[in-house]
Structure 1
């Protein structure tokens, strides 16, 4: 009886094994997942995506310079001596994504100021940093730092030279206008300084002064937006091309922190600094701003302009209260 039971169980087990094996053999092969590295176009260690970017880790051709690379943008967000807007991380990640997905530039995200130099970049022990970059390796900077950032006099000179003498680009977002109050030349390069946000975060209308500037073509002459609108000081229309300004007609110009009471409140502008191109935009306080396609288009096209991938007429024009036609 026991032998018969064992034989029956063995036969059942063999049947189940054959059936399961047969099912696996006959099942259709699922399509390869599109997630993860499958999206990166990795082929034998090289990323063969747009622009033949070879910036994959461990790719010797990238570090030796034997493969052409895309343009490079340094996303610089040093907030160690001030405060970090909640938007800073998401903004820099968005700039990285826009460059990567379009194939126009590679972004190097740094929350320190180590690479703001044209000299050697050293590790904390004083030895040369492996695969280190410095300003000579970048074509533009996207800046979202704040307040007094620790730069040596030589670093400051190198940063100004990067734009003024080398003709590189400098794109400043929102609170970047609060940086380096003790450094006059920085304010001259950017074109204006933060001078409080009198109303906090409020809804208002934004006026497009130059609808032809890259990134503005799809916008209406005025559009509603919620932001922490900045008041700007040290600004001169005679050498700066205003792109956006705040419509203050519905705002209280007698609020305690309002320091000038006319209607000329620039929000975004473009200018040259020596040979280089400088762009500032006060919009972008909230992380959700950087998911707004219109805001993304503004900064994407600003970086393209700063990289000289596109062009625009930035002849300064006088203020007029009339809305553009």
Structure 2
């Protein structure tokens, strides 16, 4: 067990997801499982002060330009020191004018069809975030599009099966979940997590648990 804290950042400068409180509650539970105190904040100054020595930072459904220069410097230093980054849902729709952040999260949000059920295809079960999932996982979400696929630059863990819902436009190469090493630390992104109900869904909760374990290295090398 460790006392290194988990920082959950939820500032929005655009659309605000109603599911943020449920997401914070889920990460408080997951932090407690790891023996980590959890700081949830929307203040970039508090974020910058909290990051040194933190095990990981979660950008939970952040939107728009939410960081000051000092917070940007702190996030970069956090990664350089081996800290973890976990981006959830609209974390990919954040800090569009900062190229380094785009590389960290892996891809940029570019719209979505209506909320609807569909199928997530698990491409890699050899990871704690996906090991528990079936090959085809039925889920309800917004099925994010991205300006470009991150395939080839990241380890893709799961993709969208666009034949199972309406409005897909990325085709066969439509990653939804991925991870990579970046600037000295681990970074993980999941496009899922739009609804409040997702955060009490056992499979999605286990998905986040595995992601958090990986970025904090609690699960060892994955």
Q: Give yes or no for TM over 0.5.
A: yes
After TM superposition, give the deviation of residue 110 of structure 1 in Å.
0.7
Question: Would you say the 8 A contact 1:75–1:107 is kept in 2?
Answer: yes
Normalised by the length of structure 1, the TM-score is 0.64
1:102-142: CA deviation from partner (whole Å, max 9, x where unpaired): 2432111112212232xxxxxxxxxxxxxxx4321311001
Higher relative contact order (CA 8 A, sep 6+): 2
Identify which of 263, 272, 275 aligns with 2:184.
275
Identify which of 48, 63, 66 aligns with 1:146.
63
Structure with max Cα Rg: 1
Identify which of 204, 208, 227 aligns with 2:118.
204
Measure, in 2, the Cα distance between the counterparts of 1:270 and 1:150. Answer: 22
- 1:95 and 2:27 are equivalent in the alignment: yes
**RMSD over equivalenced CA pairs, Å:** 1.7
- 1:172 and 2:172 are equivalent in the alignment: no
Question: Would you say the 8 A contact 1:214–1:312 is kept in 2?
Answer: no
Q: Which runs of 5+ in 2 are unaligned?
A: none
SS at match of 1:232: coil
- 1:184 and 2:104 are equivalent in the alignment: no
SS at match of 1:203: strand
Identify which of 139, 147, 155 aligns with 2:71.
155
SS at match of 2:192: coil
After TM superposition, give the deviation of residue 239 of structure 1 in Å.
2.0
Measure, in 1, the Cα distance between the counterparts of 2:164 and 2:211. Answer: 29
User: Taking structure 1 as reference, are residues 307 and 150 closer, same or farther at Cα in structure 2, changes over 3 Å only?
Assistant: closer
Name the counterpart of 2:45: 114
SS at match of 1:137: coil
- 1:104 and 2:21 are equivalent in the alignment: no
Name the counterpart of 1:120: none
Name the counterpart of 1:227: 141
1:133-176: CA deviation from partner (whole Å, max 9, x where unpaired): 43213110011111111412x3312212211x111000010011
Measure, in 1, the Cα distance between the counterparts of 2:160 and 2:204. Answer: 15
Measure, in 2, the Cα distance between the counterparts of 1:230 and 1:303. Answer: 21
